[in-house]
Chains A and B, each alone.
Chain A
């Protein structure tokens, strides 16, 4: 959970550009079943259907 909340490290260890880090973040998490990526409309609909609260993490990719 810590890495998902706080960021994704490059697998190859090379220094990434900011554009690359933004892409890496989306690539790593957008297919992750635990997370809804940048889509509040879907999130609110799922929360309503599941009767669960939302945890919206605002994360500036460093």
Chain B
């Protein structure tokens, strides 16, 4: 750690959004920078469920990334071209979170003399606010706002969490496998960007506009190869956003405050949900205010949603949110059906 200037930031208040762009749903993230502000790398990733999430970030992995960052720093500015794609996008609507109209009750500093926790802007509130502005303008949400920082598993490969850029596994018949990626490959570059962490990969995928070519430069023994993936629109449709803290607000917007989870096979049978049919259990139904819309429409914990806005085919909550918020605007009314004790009931809610 002595090789770095170490900074601990515990709030988003005053955070320069033209400087710091990363997965704002992460409760732990790292940005590595040169003293001139050039981003060298990012670190901090997690996937869906909590059991798997613990494996995505390891001390060994962070240390491996730190070592790789020191090499990037040593070679800077001669390697500036490898870092160009990592730099933050300059077109942000608000320079700091508290400048956003939805966050203007906050100031740039924490109130350590008062209610300090309440004075803190959480990073996820940045994306919450971006989405609300779009919804309030009567627009639908794009995939970049709905499914940020997708995981490479959607393309068929997993990275070793204990190393900075080693491919841990490649799924058979996946896009990555078809392109020739193999377990053990070192992923050196992705679309020309130096890769030293899973977060670096997610940064590339977050900004990918399909259809697109994804060029992976891998190191395999003494060999270096360029592998090309042809990424088509919808490639990230299976991205799991359920774990994200910012998804709570999406549930308010699209589901009236319901938190839905997929049924197990046994549960599907018990509820009489046929294979291929939509069956999402209302694990929690919001109780108050804007989060209590589904509750006031009659839904209770334990009910099973079997149809939503004409959607009756099986899908996850994440995919349902994407479909609804990607095509329906605030204020539109949707009809849905839920099953309770073997009987289907219908309800309507107005989207937020």
Contacts and interface: CB of A to CB of B under 8 A. Distances in A.
Interface of A: 1-2, 4-6, 17-19, 21-23, 25-26, 29, 34-40, 43-44, 46-48, 50-62
B66 interface: yes
Give the dominant DSSP class at B's interface.
Answer: loop
A60 B10 contact: yes
Interface string B8-39: 11111000100010100011111111111100
B10 A55 contact: no
**Most B C-beta atoms less than 10 A away, residue of A2, A17, A18, A53:** A53
Given A1-B1, A19-B115, A53-B69, A58 B35 contact: no
A56 B73 CA distance: 15
Pairs of residues from A and B, 6 with the lowest C-beta to C-beta distance, nearest first: A47-B35, A18-B117, A60-B27, A48-B35, A55-B4, A53-B73
Contacts of B123: 58, 60
Given A47-B5, A57-B8, A61-B10, A23 B112 contact: yes
Given A19-B115, A36-B5, A43-B5, A57 B11 contact: no
User: Which residue of B33, B44, B120 has the most chain A CB atoms within 10 A of its CB atom?
Assistant: B33
Given A25-B10, A58-B9, A58-B30, 13 more contacts: A1-B1, A17-B117, A19-B117, A23-B116, A36-B8, A37-B8, A40-B16, A53-B33, A54-B4, A55-B4, A55-B5, A58-B44, A59-B28
A60 B62 CA distance: 18
Interface in B45-68: 59, 62, 66
A37 to B, nearest CB: 5
B5 A50 contact: yes
B28 A56 contact: no
A44 B62 CA distance: 21
B3 interface: yes
Contact of B1 (A29, A34, A50, A51): A34
B20 A58 contact: yes
Interface residues of B, number: 42
A49 B251 CA distance: 48
B256 to A, nearest CB: 27
Contacts of A25: 10
A60 B33 contact: no
Contacts of B62: 5
A55 B66 CA distance: 9
B9 A35 contact: no
B40 interface: yes
B6 interface: yes
A17 B117 CA distance: 9
A15 B339 CA distance: 40
B10 A52 contact: no
Nearest to A38: B9
A50 B298 CA distance: 63
Contacts of B27: 59-60, 62
A4 B28 CA distance: 12
B214 interface: no
A9 to B, nearest CB: 16
B134 to A, nearest CB: 24
B68 to A, nearest CB: 11
A13 B313 CA distance: 49
A59 B22 CA distance: 13
A38 B266 CA distance: 50
A58 B31 contact: yes
B122 interface: yes
Question: Which of A23, A25, A40, A48 has the most CB atoms of chain B within a 10 A radius of its CB?
Answer: A40
B92 interface: no
Residue of A36, A46, A47 with highest tally of chain B CB at under 10 A: A47
